[in-house]
Amino acid sequence: MAAPIDPRLLRASGAARRHLGASAALALVAALLTVAQAVLLATVIERVFLRDAALADVAPELIALVAAMAGRACVAGAFEWAGRRGAVRVMSDLRERLARALLVTRPLRPRERSGELATTAVQGVDALEAYLAGYVPQLMLASAVPVVVLGWIALHDLVAALLLAFTVPLLIVFMVLVGRSAQAATRQRLAALSLLGAHFLDVVRGLETLRAHGRDGAQQEALGRVGERYRVETMATLRIAFMSALVLELVAMLGTALVAVTVGIQLVDGSLAFGAGLAVLLLAPELYAPLREVGRQYHAAADGLAAAERIFEVIEGEQEVVVVPTRLRTAADPGREAIEFDRVSFAYPARAGLVLDDLSLTLAPGRLTALVGASGAGKSTVAALLLRLVEPSGGAIRCGGVDLREIDMDTWRAQLAWVPQRTRIFDGTIADNVRLADPDASDERVAAALEQAGAARFVSALPDGAATRVGERGRRLSAGEAQRIAVARAFVRDAPLLILDEPTAHLDGATAAALDDALIRLAAGRTTLLIAHRPQLAARADVRIALAGGRADDEREPGAARTPAPGTSASTQHDDAATAGAAA
């Protein structure tokens, strides 16, 4: 079996290393107890049945035998306990690393289908329990028991030891060959399961579209084909498992029989003592038992090993975010300091050419800057750079002269609010969704944010108001209602830097126009980047920047969201901004 223990698993998780060390120590103890039990049992039988010793005469040996048996039972229980405990910790570590890889190092667009990732992260990681709690301990036993057993046998019966030493490698070679076949079959089975999960998730998400186009029946057939592929791959894996179990049992049985014949001949010749010969016969099955169990456990744990390989492909894949340096600088206030893109370039790994090429622009503090341009010009990439979902391929982004890459990522993000093109509404109440921006926000702040976002009217009409459950298993919101929730989040966030990434792109004209006023109120007094596709909204900005060919040209025009004069109240700022916008 190639790579029985993935070294990346040991490097990635301290819990995995501790688990492996505990398994190795318990395996050595189990091997010594195995030899002690066989020797003590053979001694008792020889003294009682051949030498007519009374039970009182063998009382010390019987007590030691019972202690050895109890010790083996305790070790087996310790294997189970340590295996389960270690497996839970390793599984938790892997899920955490996978989540961090998707959220931090590859946050924009995973190259894997979400259904496939979900299958790997849940069912695949769960399969690691059989690998860590079953296979790894048995592998340690299979490494320790044969060595200890063969060592003892070699001291008392060299012929039997040589015979066993010859058959054990044959068994191991066969296990390796079968293991490689099983590993390939398991990878195919996991791929089929991931495809089934991904396809099913796509179907569920697009069920309305499929029904509207009359394609729901075709998708049933497609799911049936994918399910049949999974069944075929599962049966192929099971066939390999059953065949390997049969052959392993056959080789172990033949090896034990050959040892029995050899021991019998030596006993007849008188070249071997009865006690030693009986101990050899008792130890022969014990030598093969952990090897057979490794083969059985491997097939049960192969899913986990294949899932671990898939997880490490994601974790160790090409990263999009530069690692934050250990020596960090204090973050500047984007509400008071300008943000400068200094000859910034950026290219996506899966896309040819540069999206941004030597881009230079400045976001003035307290001003609303609109970024316009054709679809695919790189406007959303500029927002992603500001959000630090990605880092520049060249050049630098500075705030107050400090490179953003020298600032702690969480500290920087704490100073910004974001309204995306499509708002994600999570399962929970409306208030819960608004508090996503600030979990400690009071009910009064949530209500005020909904009012400022223009969402108070439709929220008050709901059965439970802001306590109405929405999201996947709750009430569905329209696109305009969802965007108002996103704007309310930004109001609750109350951050000095605001990023509006085409917030009205998917709304009808009337809804978009109604949301414009809320966005202008939100932008008042904040450093704001507005990625706009509608000229009506872009015209209300202080500065309009046209993006084309990865570069920018400033078009400074009168706008609504001017930097407020010192001493102006917040409410006056918002009213003035709205009035000026209406006049524009």
Same domain, 141 and 283: yes
Same domain, 191 and 85: yes
190 near 313, Cβ under 8 Å? no
565 falls in which pLDDT band (50, 70, 90)?
A: very low
Q: Is residue 350 over pLDDT 70?
A: no
Q: Is residue 325 over pLDDT 80?
A: no
- For residue range 282-303, what is the model confidence (pLDDT) as tens digits? 888 888 888 877 777 776 666 6
- Alpha helix locations (H) across 157-273? 158-205, 207-212, 216-269
Residue 125, domain member (yes or no)? yes
What is the C-alpha separation between 466 and 469, in angstroms, rounded?
8
Mean pLDDT of 257-279: 86
561 falls in which pLDDT band (50, 70, 90)?
A: very low
Residue 38, domain member (yes or no)? yes
Same domain, 310 and 428: no
Q: Is residue 23 over pLDDT 90?
A: no
User: What phi and psi values does residue 417 have, to the nearest 5 degrees?
Assistant: -125, 150
> Which residue is associated with the tokens 């704001």?
528
Q: Is residue 560 over pLDDT 50?
A: no
**DSSP labels, 134-162:** IIHHHHHHHHHHHHHHHHHHHHH-HHHHH
How high is the pLDDT of residue 368? 93
Same domain, 369 and 232: no
Mean pLDDT of 167-190: 72
**DSSP labels, 41-80:** HHHHHIIIIIS---TTTTHHHHHHHHHHHHHHHHHHHHHH
- For residue range 514-554, what is the model confidence (pLDDT) as tens digits? 888 889 999 999 999 999 878 888 888 888 998 887 788 75
Same domain, 311 and 433: no
Same domain, 161 and 308: yes
* Domain stops at, among 300, 315, 330: 315
> Which residue is associated with the tokens 């008071």?
336
* Share above pLDDT 90 across residues of the chain, in percent, rounded to a whole number: 17
* Domain stops at, among 315, 334, 350: 315
Can you read off the two tokens belonging to residue 131?
């690998």
Quote the pTM value: 0.61
How high is the pLDDT of residue 500? 92
* Share above pLDDT 70 across residues of the chain, in percent, rounded to a whole number: 80
Same domain, 299 and 372: no
How high is the pLDDT of residue 68? 92
Residue 397, domain member (yes or no)? no
Residue 394, domain member (yes or no)? no
- For residue range 106-128, what is the model confidence (pLDDT) as tens digits? 555 545 556 666 666 676 677 77
Who has greater pLDDT, 141 or 122? 141
Q: Is residue 326 over pLDDT 70?
A: no
Can you read off the two tokens belonging to residue 169?
């490698």
Can you read off the two tokens belonging to residue 437?
């921006």
- Ranking 133-137, 376-380, 550-554 by mean pLDDT, the lowest is 550-554
Residue 190, domain member (yes or no)? yes
Who has greater pLDDT, 432 or 176? 432
Same domain, 296 and 153: yes
Show the domain range for 518: 365-379+415-583
Length of the chain: 584
Residue 410, domain member (yes or no)? no
What is the C-alpha separation between 357 and 552, in angstroms, rounded?
10
* Domain stops at, among 289, 315, 341: 315
Same domain, 290 and 431: no
Q: What's the number of domains the chain is made of? A: 2
Cα 266 versus chain centre, distance: 59
Residue 279, domain member (yes or no)? yes
What is the C-alpha separation between 424 and 131, in angstroms, rounded?
37
Q: In what order do the strands lie in the sheet with 402-403?
A: 356-363, 339-346, 394-399, 402-403
How high is the pLDDT of residue 293? 79
226 near 192, Cβ under 8 Å? yes
Same domain, 369 and 311: no
- For residue range 499-513, what is the model confidence (pLDDT) as tens digits? 998 888 778 878 888
What is the C-alpha separation between 2 and 492, in angstroms, rounded?
54
- Ranking 101-110, 123-132, 457-466 by mean pLDDT, the lowest is 101-110
Residue 128, domain member (yes or no)? yes
Same domain, 271 and 370: no
Average pLDDT, the chain: 79
CATH number at residue 551: 3.40.50.300
329 near 402, Cβ under 8 Å? yes
What is the C-alpha separation between 177 and 274, in angstroms, rounded?
38
CATH number at residue 310: 1.20.1560.10
Same domain, 433 and 307: no
User: For 435, which DSSP code?
Assistant: T
Q: Is residue 568 over pLDDT 60?
A: no
